[in-house]
Amino acid sequence: MKNIVFLHSQLSGYFISSVLNALQNNLEIEVHIIVTPNTFDAPFEFSKLSERIKIYNRKDFDYPSLSNLLNNLNPNSIILCGWNDKLYLKIAKGYKNKIPLTIAMDNLWYGQFRQYLGLIYSRIFLVNLFNYIWVPGIPQKEYAKLLGFKKKQILLSSYCADLEKFKKFYSSAIKTKEQNFPHRFLFVGRYVSQKGLDNLCEAFAALQNENPNDWELVCVGSGPLFETRVIMNKIIHKGFIQPEDFQSIISETGVFVLPSWEEHWGVVLHEYAAAGYPLICSDAVGAASTFINNNVNGFVFQAKNIVSLKEKLLKIVKTPDNELLKMGYESVLMSKEVTNEKWNMSFEKTMKFN
């Protein structure tokens, strides 16, 4: 049995689904995940874990205890989710040139001063330590090149939605939507400032004031700003809902909106593309590069620009229902740009020296 270790940050449903899919395709591996417990604003439950997935609490370890755990596991490869955890980096250094080491990154290049310093750090330390860098999409691939990684070292599709789940949601909801397309925008995310929900609510309110219509806004999630959420007619706050319980939400809503100020990737955009939604998102969302074809299956607006967002909402309101259905189908097609098979291909490479 091969032991693969993820030195991780926080668990997510899509990550677990990717690992489970990989285990089905490779019966000779066991996955060990060291992870920080999830926060209150993302209280996901994972009830279908395999016996070949072992989860450990990051807070239980210092260097000697984590080093001892890995010595006992004798891992065949290690995957670090980012470079911010100094303990994880110290552990990785002990396995340099002994087993394949991979670092995962979802950062976008903004040309900031600290990022230029990071380029120097990467070329001195990271490139010489890691065999691979695993990124979600093309923007991150270009950043990885700047960091000094060669083309053969860069793996793609590090984030993949639970496509089986969201395809089922689509199949179950599409007939209802064909008969009566729901005039409801949907937001799913944490109630934190960088998600841009206040901007969305303001843009939606302005739209209703200037161009009264029958559309509503449904918001799903929780977080520190939930208690100060915008309360008004036609804005519905559902609170946190476990992902497996989303069928009714998907059947009752029509267009997905992600108004983030900052979103390195945004797997949620992949999820709702797979669920057959027309999409609206800000240009700060990394995943838009893969899952939105502007004016075909959705619209991209300027982050933090309420007027720009309102214009995109109005475009949706003025689009006939049959055209919205076509846009949703285009989203389904685009969701296939990243699949569990592509995730697993990259995962398999992390077990081998390049």
Residue 143 predicted with pLDDT over 80:
yes
Report pLDDT for 102: 98
Confidence at residue 330, expressed as pLDDT on a 0 to 100 scale: 98
pLDDT at 25: 87
Whole-angstrom distance, CA of residue 256 vs CA of residue 186: 5
**pLDDT value at position 245?**
84
Look at residue 353 and tell me whether its pLDDT is greater than 90: no
Helix residue ranges per DSSP H, 40-183: 63-73, 86-93, 113-121, 127-129, 138-147, 163-179
The Cα 226–Cα 223 span in angstroms is: 6
Instruction: Give the DSSP letter string of 3-55.
Output: EEEEE-S---HHHHHHHHHHHHH-TTEEEEEEEPPPPTTS--------TTEEE
Domains of the chain: 2-160+339-349 (3.40.50.2000), 163-335 (3.40.50.2000)
pLDDT tens for each residue of 97-138: 999 999 999 999 999 989 888 898 889 889 999 999 999 999
For the segment 14-32, what is each residue's pLDDT rounded down to a tens digit? 999 999 999 998 889 999 9
Distance CA 17, CA 5 (A): 16
How far, in Å, CA of 19 to CA of 35, rounded?
14
Rg (the chain; Cα; Å): 21
- Does pLDDT of 352 surpass 80? yes
Residue from 18, 14, 2, 9 nearest 343 by CA:
18
The average pLDDT across 296-317 equals: 98
pLDDT digits (tens, 9 = 90+) for 208-240: 999 999 999 999 999 999 999 999 999 999 999
What's the mean pLDDT in 189-211? Answer: 96
pTM of structure: 0.94
Q: Model confidence over 40-57: pLDDT tens digits?
A: 455 555 555 788 999 999
pLDDT tens digit string along 289-306?
A: 999 999 999 999 999 999
